[in-house]
Structure 1
Amino acid sequence: MSRGGELLCLGISHKTAPVAVRERLAFTTPRAQELCRELVSGDAIREAVAISTCNRTEIYVVGDPVAAESELLTALARRAGTRATELAEAMYAPRNCDAARQLYRVVSGLESMIVGEAEIQGQTKRAYEAALEAGTTGPMTNRLFTAALQTGKRVRSETALGDGRASVSGIAVGLARDLMGPDLEKRDVVIIGAGETSELTAQALAEQGVRTIFVANRHADRARSIADRFGGSVSSLHDLPERLAEADIVVSSTSSPHPLIGVDELALVMRERNGAPLLLIDLAVPRDIEPACSELDGVALYDIDDLQSVVARNRQVREAERVHAEEVVEDEIQRFARWMGQLDVMPTISALREHGESIVEQVLAENAGRWESASPRDRARIDALARSIMQRLLHEPTIRLKTNDREISHGRLEMARELFGLLDEGADEAADAAVEGGEAEVRPLRRRDAR
């Protein structure tokens, strides 16, 4: 790809690293915007969008693939407080259509801990909107994320992958029911946080007849609104020790960069409880509850990774729909592949024809004095003959360049540019015009087999 560069994703997820590693790369929206601005301020990266959820952090960038990967890995390692070589072991780095496929699968719920969960689509949309606000998107990422979100909608409308509205919150409530007994309405439940996960948790608990207490400082108004909807009440973080002393179940999901419940503080609370058991479910990344709390007598602590064993029991229900969902993803990937291919092909073909036209003009001008006795009609015939030879000469190379095989096409493009001495600058301008003007809109290719 000429001016914009190649598409690259650098990511880490629940499939490649435990929560102890993932939480070091978890970004709030402002920090994600800060990272993207930093990345595009250099020479290697032109566009950047960062997605950060409890199960993954993925950065999608456009630029020079080798330099961009090195620069991005260095930036992430610096924020994680580790060496880039160590971090690289837990990360994946697909490029171009493979990177697009990763995002399509993420948005569709195919890469989620709970296959088909719907929250990821909203989280991806908000991440993209944050990058738009930060001014770090461009033609490639705009097209990529718009198409990925559309793919997610297709998967949910054309398959039953998301039936049952399974979510991390729902699994957490199911775990609480398994551990504490089916009569959750008799339990005192505290929810720390007022974000989307907390709201979904409150909804799942309300369906069990549970009235919850929300603990939140930063988003007290939102917590109050959720509490009103589901019959709960609101408290502040200042009163958290008192709430913990009375609770049977605590579900925490905030965006705090530091733990809200420490082992020393919880030890004092447990003394007041006189041996009454306490179930803590930590859905946050970074974690809200210090892992050492699990060592206290009477405390049962589960984090986001602990839920995977519960998820495994529910996985077979959705496996039948996975194949249909993957077919939709592959169908949309073919469309994106054709679009990406045209970003290279159309500007090169345009530059090739302009190169041919310039040669014709130059040759005609150099020989204008050799046929001063020719009539205007003869001159027109000479002009037409020269252009016809040029068009026939370029016809076969043009056909070859338009091959649907992206790997072969890319090699031929590089050879054509080198053999004909085509300048990248002209192709760059044509590529931008094609992207912004919509010339790259294409129909789907023949569907490939799903992975």
Structure 2
Amino acid sequence: MPLVLVGINHESAPVEVREKLAIGEHALPRTLLALSALEPVVEGAILSTCNRTEIYAVLSPESGATEEILAEFLAGQHGLSRHQFDGRLYFYRDGAAASHLFSVAAGVDSMILGEPDIQRQVKQAMEAAQGAKTLGTLLNRLFQDALVAGKRARTETEIARGAFSIGAAAVERAAQIFGDSLEGNTVLVLGAGKMSEVTARHLQARGAPTVLVANRTYERAEHLAAQFGGHARRFDELESALLSADIVVCSTAAPHPVVTRALIKNAMRVRHNRPLFLIDIAVPRDVEASVGDLDNVYLYNIDDLMQIVSGARQTRSGEVAQAREIIDAMAIEYGRWRQSLEVAPTIVAVREKLESVRVAELARLRSRMPGLSDKEWRAVEAAMESVTNKIAHPAIIAIKSSAQGSGDSAALETIRQAFGLEQEGDPSPESGRRSANARRAPDA
């Protein structure tokens, strides 16, 4: 069964395009269910972060469907046409899809090389698919292996040494604006999720004396503010909070902008145009783009942070190469495991065929040799079992080799014909795949 991937990320599209295809935490369960309802989809998972949205799926081979069905689905879920994203989407299949996810989990494909957050996000994507019952054998192993690849890359290489998180990069941008220390500056954090928590921690480390936290759920704002000696604000108090803030870091999960041009324009009038710096690390964006056109308002989005981290990739190419070796080796191993599943029905059929022959021959011999003692009969049975095992062994080795090598389907078919499997209706790899689909269907 083909493993396919369609995605959009920070390299293929700017934030104003990426945000159109973002899938928020609350929308993820229903989107997974909609994905699994597509007839060709046997398994499915979705990874959506501030830098990427990717759909991984296992397709039924009988359907003849391609990656395009995922592209149409992704755009359609947002009420958009797939052709609006021509040249922006990327597609991978089978081994290339596995290698891509392993690279993502390792932080090799991230905007920030070796970033720590992506491991957690890959795990959350896996758990969300498990919760929606859209994760089957192939994708479960794929995501488990991706987490292992990410961990190995970070422990066996130095790719994560000194790596920024997105939140840390946002604070670094603020420090570039105000100087190394943020002492004397009031910071307002919009949102109380994991990214906001990371950002608040780095703000405190940079010496920000006052951290305000505003969130739609006030209790979550209180909880986050208490961790850092900050102050919680209700979301309907946002305008008043803006009056005292020097720096605003935005990281909500809102599907639409929560900081509008009108809101900032009014706040700037009351502030007497005192400079205001907004760093928007949310996708979709929290701040209307036109806010940056206002006098003394300086707006940076997540793509602007590239300037901070762009040099790391060139200076750490050695670590990237080492991580790639781990990724490539694990992708090959995953491919071999997948191929072994393809030939498993044939191995079972060979064993069953030889066992049926052994049982039939023993019955025939017993009727012809009634005078054998129990001890003699056990010796005959042992000899017959040894013979069938010796016949099965080279056949099974050849079957496994066809999977782990070039995937020679002709060699596999020759073995099946030699044992007379097709003629007697034994399970073929194709019928095995259909059976897997049938077992998977109730979970969808």
Q: What TM-score bracket applies, with the shorter chain setting the length?
A: 0.7 to 0.9
d(CA) in 2 for partners of 1:283, 1:415 = 55
* Equivalent residue, structure 2, for 1:439: none
d(CA) in 2 for partners of 1:362, 1:86 = 65
List per-residue Cα deviations over 1:167-200 (Å, max 9, x = no partner).
1111111111112223411112111001111111
Deviates more, 1:78-87 or 1:165-174: 78-87
- Percent of aligned positions with the same letter in both sequences? 37
TM-score by length of 2: 0.84
* Equivalent residue, structure 1, for 2:343: 345
d(CA) in 2 for partners of 1:373, 1:251 = 87
List per-residue Cα deviations over 1:121-166 (Å, max 9, x = no partner).
1111122112211121111122121221122222222222112241
Indicate if the aligned counterparts of 2:274 and 2:296 stay in contact, CA closer than 8 A.
Answer: yes
Find the partner of 2:221 among 217, 220, 223: 223
* Equivalent residue, structure 2, for 1:214: 213
Matched, 1:19 2:18: no
Find the partner of 1:30 among 5, 26, 33: 26
Find the partner of 1:117 among 115, 118, 136: 115
Find the partner of 1:9 among 2, 5, 11: 5
Q: 1:386 to 1:426 in 2, by over 3 A?
A: farther
Q: 1:14 to 1:407 in 2, by over 3 A?
A: farther
Indicate if the aligned counterparts of 1:280 and 1:301 stay in contact, CA closer than 8 A.
Answer: yes
Find the partner of 1:427 among 417, 423, 432: 432
List per-residue Cα deviations over 1:216-242 (Å, max 9, x = no partner).
122x32322222222211101111111
Opposite residue 63 of structure 1, the aligned amino acid is L
* Equivalent residue, structure 1, for 2:106: 108
TM-score by length of 1: 0.83
d(CA) in 2 for partners of 1:176, 1:123 = 25
Opposite residue 51 of structure 2, the aligned amino acid is N
* Equivalent residue, structure 2, for 1:272: 270
d(CA) in 2 for partners of 1:393, 1:408 = 24
Find the partner of 2:409 among 408, 411, 434: 411
d(CA) in 2 for partners of 1:410, 1:430 = 23
List per-residue Cα deviations over 1:323-377 (Å, max 9, x = no partner).
2222222232233222112111222222244356668889999xx8xx9996569
Opposite residue 32 of structure 2, the aligned amino acid is C
- In the TM superposition, 1:15-164 aligns within 5 A as 15-64=11-60, 66-67=64-65, 69-87=67-85, 89-164=87-162
Secondary structure at 2:295's aligned position in 1?
Answer: coil
Secondary structure at 1:90's aligned position in 2?
Answer: coil
* Equivalent residue, structure 2, for 1:444: none
Q: 1:426 to 1:83 in 2, by over 3 A?
A: closer
Find the partner of 1:184 among 174, 182, 185: 182
Deviates more, 1:307-316 or 1:411-420: 411-420
d(CA) in 2 for partners of 1:377, 1:341 = 49
Find the partner of 2:243 among 242, 245, 249: 245
Secondary structure at 1:185's aligned position in 2?
Answer: coil
* Equivalent residue, structure 1, for 2:257: 259
List per-residue Cα deviations over 1:27-82 (Å, max 9, x = no partner).
12231111111222242112111111000111111222652634322221112332
d(CA) in 2 for partners of 1:237, 1:423 = 61
d(CA) in 2 for partners of 1:83, 1:414 = 43
Deviates more, 1:117-126 or 1:328-337: 328-337
Q: 1:287 to 1:359 in 2, by over 3 A?
A: same
Secondary structure at 1:306's aligned position in 2?
Answer: helix
Opposite residue 217 of structure 1, the aligned amino acid is R
d(CA) in 1 for partners of 2:237, 2:282 = 20
Shift of 1:414: 6.8
d(CA) in 1 for partners of 2:349, 2:433 = 10
Q: 1:199 to 1:362 in 2, by over 3 A?
A: same
Deviates more, 1:350-359 or 1:263-272: 350-359
Alignment length (residue pairs):
423
d(CA) in 2 for partners of 1:16, 1:414 = 41
Indicate if the aligned counterparts of 1:348 and 1:413 stay in contact, CA closer than 8 A.
Answer: no
Q: 1:400 to 1:205 in 2, by over 3 A?
A: same
d(CA) in 1 for partners of 2:48, 2:342 = 31
d(CA) in 2 for partners of 1:333, 1:198 = 34
Secondary structure at 2:303's aligned position in 1?
Answer: coil
Q: 1:86 to 1:353 in 2, by over 3 A?
A: farther
d(CA) in 1 for partners of 2:26, 2:367 = 74
d(CA) in 1 for partners of 2:261, 2:323 = 43
* Equivalent residue, structure 2, for 1:445: none
Shift of 1:249: 0.9
Q: Any unmatched runs of 5+ in structure 2? A: none
Secondary structure at 1:191's aligned position in 2?
Answer: strand
d(CA) in 2 for partners of 1:54, 1:305 = 10
Indicate if the aligned counterparts of 2:358 and 2:388 stay in contact, CA closer than 8 A.
Answer: yes
Opposite residue 47 of structure 1, the aligned amino acid is E
Deviates more, 1:64-73 or 1:198-207: 64-73
